[in-house]
Amino acid sequence: MKLGSEWASVTNDFVIRMLQEEPKISKLFRWTNCSDELLIQTIAFNCGFMNRMYHNPNGADNLRFIDWVRSKNGSPHIFTIADKELLEDATAGALIARKFSLDKDSEIINYILKKTGNK
């Protein structure tokens, strides 16, 4: 299994291949708890489409910066104020960063709001 962003733009031939694989997909993902973050990457990897997927070396695939390197239990890393410089560097090619939590660290959220002129 492969994991990554559940957001994707796919080609018509990839959709056709996914539809052809529907019985296998249903069986494999029926009881998973995060199938949206496994589905497209797993199919692409196993059906010869992986080399056609866009991958930004900074992690900003789909113009979203998501830190899967430090993920836990299949969930993206939750950014904190300690990630301030990383976010400023990595989001140069991204429009969105994910994942933040007010409960874990509101300081990073306030920093971003201030930096973007929203607070």
- Write the pLDDT tens digit of every residue in 11-21: 899 999 989 98
Instruction: Please state, as a whole number, how many other Cβ atoms lie within 10 Å of the Cβ of residue 47.
Output: 13
Q: State phi, psi for 98 to the nearest 5 degrees.
A: -140, 125
pLDDT tens digit sequence for 60-103? 567 778 888 898 887 889 999 999 998 988 666 777 888 999 99
| Axis-axis angle for helices 12-20, 39-46 (nearest 10) | 90
* Alpha helices in 1-119, H assignment, sequence order: 12-20, 22-29, 39-46, 84-90, 106-115
Give the DSSP H or E segment for 96.
Answer: strand 96-98
Whole-model pTM? 0.55
